[in-house]
Chain A
Amino acid sequence: MTAASSAMRLDALRELPSLPQVIIDLQSAMSREDVSIDAIADTVSLDQALAAKALRVANCSFYGVPGRVVSIRQAIGILGLRSVSTVLTIAAVSQTIPRPSCPGFDMERYWRHSVAVALCARSIARTLHLDADVAFTAGLLHDLGRLALASQAPTCLGEALRRRDELDCTMLEAERATLGTDHAALGSQVAARWHFGPAIVDAIRLHHEPPAAPKATVVDIVHIADGIAHALDLAGDPNELVPPLDTAAWNRAGLTEGQMLLVLEGTEAEVDGLCDALAV
């Protein structure tokens, strides 16, 4: 594939549908202090498909109140606005992106890996007393660019997948060699267009190459969580390969072995339940 034809096909990513307006409003509301829970509940309830999926997720055992949540307003009261925002975001992303038909791309494996990274990132963030909700959402969306490629430019992603399988290299290397760009750069562009905050956009863009920082960041957490999710081999990919880990990011996190083992145990224990609830 030439650089020109690759660029032309990648233009299709611009045609990716927007997230529902309610999610954009929610992202905006989360950064304000005068947010009205009633107004958000009323708006979300108008989108019946989104509200139904959000309630299904809110009722899974992962959130600790299975079967008790019957309305969005109640979900906000029980789970809190930030958790409901995360649930709605999951529901919106999975229903907004057209189902891909890309040879070699497995949607179920994609979501299992993303859910594992989200759970792992949340667990590490809690241990480090960083924002666990942001870490969870960033983890869930870290490979958004790959999903967008599979949906909007399947030939491009298929070429990269073939190269990865032939050379047994990392997916990042295969994408850069065949597309001249990678899923991290493309995913951050989609996330920015979808009005996600800078912490999540940066985590998506930099999750393979965390920059130097004085202390651990959400980017570091998603980078480490991505490595752990690959190492736990949870997605069921026969060609699974653990990508390189940035030692500076690892050392910045500075977790003890005992803390890391608890993170691994928790991630493995929770991934099936959340994937079932999300129906992914």
Chain B
Amino acid sequence: MIDKAATHLPPASQAGPQQASPPEPPARADRVEWLFRDALRRRQVHPLMELLRRYRGQEGA
């Protein structure tokens, strides 16, 4: 359970590199990494990616 009031996102510049994602679009329910493939290819951390993972995880809980 995420504490919505107290949890702060880290500044984007503190995060590290990521792995590349598959080129083919996966099923809609499992698209988070694929949607961020531009940032992953550039080995950049996208501040929204972890947020989306948590959001989709919260939806499925």
Q: Which residues of A contact B (CB under 8 A)?
A: 168-170, 227-228, 230-233, 238-245, 247, 250-251, 255-262, 264-265
Smallest CB separation, A245 vs chain B (Å): 5
With A238-B25, A260-B51, A261-B2 as given contacts, are A233 and B35 in contact (CB-CB < 8 Å)? yes
Q: Which residues of B contact A238 (CB under 8 A)?
A: 25
Q: Does B11 contact A (CB under 8 A)?
A: yes
Q: Which residues of B contact A265 (CB under 8 A)?
A: 55
Smallest CB separation, A253 vs chain B (Å): 10
- Assess whether A257 is in contact with B39, with CB atoms less than 8 Å apart: no
Report B16-61 residues with CB < 8 Å from chain A CB: 23, 25, 28, 31-32, 35-39, 42, 44, 46-49, 51-52, 54-55, 58
Contact of A242 among B12, B23, B46, B58 (CB under 8 A): B46
- Assess whether A257 is in contact with B37, with CB atoms less than 8 Å apart: no
Rounded to whole angstroms, the CA-CA distance of A168 and B2 in the bound complex is 34
The interface size of chain B toward A, counting residues with CB under 8 Å, comes to 32
- Assess whether A256 is in contact with B13, with CB atoms less than 8 Å apart: no
- Assess whether B35 is in contact with A243, with CB atoms less than 8 Å apart: no
* With A168-B37, A247-B11 already in contact, 8 other A-B pairs whose C-beta atoms are closer than 8 Å: A228-B48, A244-B42, A250-B12, A256-B6, A257-B8, A261-B51, A262-B4, A264-B55
Q: Which residues of B contact A233 (CB under 8 A)?
A: 28, 31, 35
Smallest CB separation, A236 vs chain B (Å): 9
Rounded to whole angstroms, the CA-CA distance of A240 and B38 in the bound complex is 11
Q: Which residues of B contact A260 (CB under 8 A)?
A: 9, 51
* Pairs A-B, 8 closest by C-beta atoms: A258-B4, A247-B12, A257-B7, A231-B48, A250-B47, A257-B9, A231-B52, A242-B35
Q: Which residues of B contact A255 (CB under 8 A)?
A: 9
